[in-house]
Structure 1
């Protein structure tokens, strides 16, 4: 379990920092972060207040301790997010220590992250894990200290980190990571390390790639398998902005240029004091190319070195993330989004105009019937008024999925509002996923309320049963898929595997908070008066006439999902690219507009098809309204399959299983969301039209 909040606070008091906010050097780790340190509320043999011999903790006391630990972990996540919301710039003066942290190794070919120290890189004396929120753990982040410690505005040249002699196992691991194109990720002052790349187009600016490759493979030499070279010299560039008023410096950029250099030296090896002939700080000779690269081979020494250059920048601290967030093809992105929005808005206006004109004409015609003979001759949607509100088959399951959809809708709406306001920017690492999980938990209140209200309208009486199904159906299915995928990741020894302590925290959020809130919402909803139908339901169901081929349920459902998917598929491309190709996504303003367009599109296409269905005297609209807009999830999964084979370079079977497993969960969630939107739109529409006509 991650370090407790209280232990971190006591750590701060035991090891105070300077008032300028600069962290202490890495080689002096806080004692509270050491593995052997116990939490303050646990008995210890070294504490004078320990329990007497023979006295054991009873079950209830141990359970209370467990709840305190899990609650503290959850509180730690919230405090970490809030602290990043209220983060202030780090102020440094000349020669202040700047500690570089290392993060996971990532690859777009395997999608399996690994800890930095899973490879035999140079290690500090004590490896200290940084506190991570729930989202960071689920993302596979493993943030740790490193041997790279700079001094503000103090350049370094050809600084030796360590010398390493790989064994057969070490060489094999390096070659595997180079073959799979793994990248090394580092962090300085919460800024990720990037590699500047010049585009072929001279008119375009510089683009930045997150992290640097472990190495490179030369396919033209070394026989059948090629030769593997490791990047063992890092040329860091730290950009800073000077605050003239306070006379301090703030970091605004962190770049690197990796090189593969077969270092040489004369005489005996004397650790970091050895003088290299390939780069010499005394002679002001640095590495500018890789004419003699470092080969990865058994028992062949690898010397890791680095340079540090400081560059003053005009970029202010508040704008330092703009470089990272504006590295995509903005013109193409803007044109695609605006074009999609205009098309969807145009179609929505057309549908709205057709619906208003058609309904106005139909209601006026039906209200002109004065005799019973005329009423018997009527055809269309009014003819099924005695059956249109008849409870559907599997009404319990419909209530469950409608409640779950409301939970999803509330979570996404609040998340996007926070994202648009800037609280969930990429600088708040893991904040987006943590916020979504916490909002999902607390939105269980609305899930229980919605399902109970609909269930009571269907004359249901077992509200506890429907509450349990609402609380556990969707999360249970997702958890089964998630556990299977997590077991596969565990088998690969990847840092992306969720630890057991995090599993307990997720279980506590589910069983300890979300499920009780579903019960509270269901209790409140079931106590309210039942929703009354605008017309009475006949005791004997009306026979549904034979339908035209285009009104076949399967055909109309599949047709109904095309337009909602068309509203999001362009934005979906950028979202998939950011997730699976390790890029930033920060166009939440456009995403929020697309979300609004998706809501309008799902509602209108469902209303149109529901109207045609009722005009054909088919009153079984409950499930079809849900499935009509929900079928867009099928197109989402098909597009994800197309994206897999055309855009990704995944070659391993396990990586393909992970991709389709996660996209299956995403498609399932999209089905629940869009289905609920379509259902409520059709529910409002049917109640509106049948309450607007005269029914004898």
Structure 2
């Protein structure tokens, strides 16, 4: 009886605990859902209560990503200034929402007759700003009770008879529908067009009309949802098509796992019954031959585990956010989906740490803390890098898309205080619970040779083919998502998205199984990276389709010259130019194009160089080499002896002094030429190059001098790198860079692309000046066994300026000014028969990639300084070279 009573009491306590846990779980779920709704108002009003009209952003109609503050245009506010500024959330700042009070007096159910709320008298600059906005079809966004309104700034017409006409709308009629004590409809009508003239006063007016409505508050957002588009039968058909594809692939996988493997097992059992003589002469093949290598750890196990952990984390995040959005209808509230995404990403951070820790420990990894940091930092750093590039462009254009410092600090705090600790906890749990290897057989000490395979069994081809069917399963859904993003439609069919996500996961898993079986059956045990990349290759098809959509389904290419310039537009433009170059090549080839004779014929016809110019370049290169010899012998070496420098420093200082002298002279000469020949406008407005472009014009004498000195210097530098300077790790890349520079200088000089070439020279030489300064001050900080701290300070300051100038001039301005101008102008502005322009643009891209390659040395140095590996500035290329020499 005592035992029975004890059991009943225990059961009763467990039941109470279960009920309490259930209640706590329900309360927690309700709290999480409330936390993601991002709503600070009750949306209910009393008669006569104030209704706030918020002004958001203004920008071109055909480019949603280019937005500016509403009052960046010379609009004026109303007279009411009692409302405090709207308190933006993190999601609002990330989405570029910039709500400001309009100053208009609007009260619930109180009509307002036509009323002037301010008087404007515009200056010439303000008139030009309005003209620019009207010409580019700017429109603005407002909010009333979290319901958006849109209006056009003005009306633009360009008739052949009347010419260009731009009129500004000065009156706004707000029609607001109410149901009980809630607002359920808003509508804006703009009229009263006027011509804009400087120093002429005019009034801005508004009017408010209230009307009862039968629309329920819960349904008030339905007018913004395009049900005819998203619930079209094509959408249903695509879902059915994906479902049938899943059934087909599951059948194929089942066939492989059942019938094919059964035959393989039967064949292997037959081999076991053979005697040793027959087995020696038998033809053994298949996946069983690599059983001792199939569980071998992959190359780069830390990166592999980080990618798998981050992928599982993102998959869980996507499923949870879709379900929360579908259940809570978060698409009805501005910024709610992004808020939920940030919250859920931080909440589920242990997932990536747990999965990554399990896999990394299973592979025998020992640096689990570094792996956990990699799992927690991989995706945030990837997103932060892409966002930083876009943010720099937005700051440059004063767009609302720029992220405020406070928001960036909040995101960093969430990452440092929530994401990283939770990832570390997940990694520790995964490492200790499921990290032990449990392979069914031992791994061979010596890897088995991989036999030669047919071309269709190569891993790279399996990877490319593995993403084709998964992309086909989501192709239609991607179209609807892109359309909602670029065509002002609110995507709300998250039920479709959830089903498509599940089908995509199923298709990807089936394709991965098939790809893995094909690879293992060809006796290639390197299946881990191949299976991962075969599923990940869907991103390649998504990227190609996004380029196609941007070019052919939007007006992106028409507005790219007027839009905010960034790397994304440059990538799209590059792909478009490749298509155009190919079409021109095919057209020329089909008519009279012969290779390579036409190339030299074009060179002979378009070359503006006289043979004397080439001889001058060679003679000046020889003169620079002789001058360098005398400069080092009669100036640098006496200085090194006077300062009592060490033998190692005495060998490095002359090289840096010579390079500083030449780079400073060349850059100042380029700047002087830009000002002297009135070419500075090419930097502020690069596309104006093509307004002045002509294949018959003469190159100014000052530009000829710049090209002569620059080409001679790079000819001399090529010789100096090979025969005169210390051979470093990147010396081969340096020689390739010099040869590329000589080729670019020659083609731009010969084919009269000197406007673009002068920009390239201006953007590249300045960072080299600060690099040599940093080296010289570093060499001079120890002189005559005495430490000079000011040289250390100057060296560090020069390095900081060098890093900043490299990023700004070579990684930001170079692609957005030079590459953009050359590609866009050659495709849309210049003549169709431009010689060598595809080769010229290709070499510009190579130059940009070399700049990225060298920038990774800078990042490595910064990393080594931050982690304490280096105590002071050191050239990692020289150190590695010296270490290799010592080892030899």
Name the structure 1 match of 2:246.
Answer: 348
Name the structure 1 match of 2:459.
Answer: 553
Q: Is 1:220 aligned to 2:126, yes or no?
A: no
Summarize the Cα distance change of 1:597–1:303 in structure 2 as closer, same or farther, 3 Å threshold: same
SS in 2 for 1:523: helix
Which residue, 657, 660, 667 being the options, matches 2:566? 657
Q: Is 1:103 aligned to 2:56, yes or no?
A: yes
SS in 1 for 2:387: helix
SS in 2 for 1:329: helix
SS in 2 for 1:148: coil
How far did residue 240 of structure 1 move? Answer: 1.2
Q: Is 1:256 aligned to 2:188, yes or no?
A: yes
Please provide the CA RMSD for this pair.
2.6
How far did residue 382 of structure 1 move? Answer: 2.2
Summarize the Cα distance change of 1:579–1:470 in structure 2 as closer, same or farther, 3 Å threshold: same
Name the structure 2 match of 1:134.
Answer: 90
The separation in 2 between residues aligned to 1:555 and 1:83, in whole angstroms, is 46
**Mapping 1:296-375, distance limit 5 Å:** 296-326=196-226, 329-330=229-230, 333-368=231-266, 369=269, 372=272, 374=274
Summarize the Cα distance change of 1:104–1:349 in structure 2 as closer, same or farther, 3 Å threshold: same
Q: Which has the larger helix fraction?
A: 2
SS in 2 for 1:232: strand
The separation in 2 between residues aligned to 1:620 and 1:343, in whole angstroms, is 33
How far did residue 582 of structure 1 move? Answer: 3.1
Summarize the Cα distance change of 1:418–1:345 in structure 2 as closer, same or farther, 3 Å threshold: same
The separation in 2 between residues aligned to 1:87 and 1:318, in whole angstroms, is 15
Q: Is 1:115 aligned to 2:69, yes or no?
A: yes
The separation in 2 between residues aligned to 1:647 and 1:302, in whole angstroms, is 41
The separation in 1 between residues aligned to 2:437 and 2:315, in whole angstroms, is 22
Name the structure 1 match of 2:514.
Answer: 608
Q: Is 1:231 aligned to 2:163, yes or no?
A: no
The separation in 1 between residues aligned to 2:67 and 2:36, in whole angstroms, is 27
Q: Is 1:387 aligned to 2:326, yes or no?
A: no
Summarize the Cα distance change of 1:132–1:221 in structure 2 as closer, same or farther, 3 Å threshold: farther
How far did residue 453 of structure 1 move? Answer: 0.4
The separation in 2 between residues aligned to 1:513 and 1:581, in whole angstroms, is 36
Listed one character per residue, the Cα deviations across residues 590-649 of structure 1 (whole Å, up to 9, x for unaligned) are 111111111111111111111111122222110011111111101111111111112332
Deviates more, 1:466-475 or 1:557-566: 466-475
Summarize the Cα distance change of 1:81–1:647 in structure 2 as closer, same or farther, 3 Å threshold: farther
SS in 1 for 2:447: coil
How far did residue 658 of structure 1 move? Answer: 5.6
Listed one character per residue, the Cα deviations across residues 1-60 of structure 1 (whole Å, up to 9, x for unaligned) are xxxxxxxxxxxxxxxxxxxxxxxxxxxxxxxxxxxxxxxxxxxxxxxxxxxxxxxxxxxx
8 Å contact kept, 2:309–2:351:
yes
Summarize the Cα distance change of 1:550–1:370 in structure 2 as closer, same or farther, 3 Å threshold: closer
How far did residue 120 of structure 1 move? Answer: 2.1
The separation in 2 between residues aligned to 1:468 and 1:474, in whole angstroms, is 11
5+ long unaligned stretches in structure 1: 1-76, 194-210, 243-248, 262-292, 665-696
Summarize the Cα distance change of 1:461–1:589 in structure 2 as closer, same or farther, 3 Å threshold: same
How far did residue 222 of structure 1 move? Answer: 9.6
8 Å contact kept, 1:568–1:594:
yes
Q: Is 1:497 aligned to 2:373, yes or no?
A: no
Name the structure 2 match of 1:441.
Answer: 346
Summarize the Cα distance change of 1:536–1:398 in structure 2 as closer, same or farther, 3 Å threshold: same
8 Å contact kept, 2:225–2:490:
yes
8 Å contact kept, 1:81–1:431:
no
**Mapping 1:7-406, distance limit 5 Å:** 81-82=35-36, 84=38, 88-93=42-47, 95-110=48-63, 111-124=65-78, 126=81, 128-193=84-149, 211-220=150-159, 226-242=164-180, 249-259=181-191, 261=192, 293-326=193-226, 329-330=229-230, 333-368=231-266, 369=269, 372=272, 374=274, 378-406=284-312
The separation in 2 between residues aligned to 1:80 and 1:129, in whole angstroms, is 24
How far did residue 141 of structure 1 move? Answer: 0.4
Listed one character per residue, the Cα deviations across residues 131-185 of structure 1 (whole Å, up to 9, x for unaligned) are 1211111111011211322233332332212111111121122122222222211
8 Å contact kept, 1:547–1:616:
yes
The separation in 2 between residues aligned to 1:84 and 1:400, in whole angstroms, is 32
Summarize the Cα distance change of 1:659–1:455 in structure 2 as closer, same or farther, 3 Å threshold: same
Name the structure 1 match of 2:367.
Answer: 462
8 Å contact kept, 1:108–1:649:
no
- TM-score norm. by structure 2 comes to 0.57
The separation in 2 between residues aligned to 1:618 and 1:170, in whole angstroms, is 69
SS in 1 for 2:102: strand
Summarize the Cα distance change of 1:160–1:327 in structure 2 as closer, same or farther, 3 Å threshold: farther
Listed one character per residue, the Cα deviations across residues 664-689 of structure 1 (whole Å, up to 9, x for unaligned) are 9xxxxxxxxxxxxxxxxxxxxxxxxx
Summarize the Cα distance change of 1:595–1:662 in structure 2 as closer, same or farther, 3 Å threshold: farther
> Number of residue pairs matched?
528
The separation in 1 between residues aligned to 2:221 and 2:74, in whole angstroms, is 31
5+ long unaligned stretches in structure 2: 1-30, 574-888
8 Å contact kept, 1:384–1:619:
yes
Which residue, 390, 399, 424 being the options, matches 1:519? 424
SS in 2 for 1:421: helix
SS in 1 for 2:296: coil
Name the structure 1 match of 2:656.
Answer: none
**Mapping 1:668-679, distance limit 5 Å:** none
- TM-score norm. by structure 1 comes to 0.71
Listed one character per residue, the Cα deviations across residues 313-337 of structure 1 (whole Å, up to 9, x for unaligned) are 111111111111236524xx43222
8 Å contact kept, 1:237–1:256:
yes
Larger radius of gyration: 2
Name the structure 2 match of 1:18.
Answer: none
Summarize the Cα distance change of 1:82–1:528 in structure 2 as closer, same or farther, 3 Å threshold: closer
How far did residue 86 of structure 1 move? Answer: 8.8
8 Å contact kept, 2:98–2:400:
yes
How far did residue 91 of structure 1 move? Answer: 3.4
8 Å contact kept, 1:447–1:470:
yes
Q: Is 1:476 aligned to 2:381, yes or no?
A: yes
The separation in 1 between residues aligned to 2:530 and 2:182, in whole angstroms, is 58
8 Å contact kept, 1:108–1:581:
no
Summarize the Cα distance change of 1:221–1:482 in structure 2 as closer, same or farther, 3 Å threshold: same
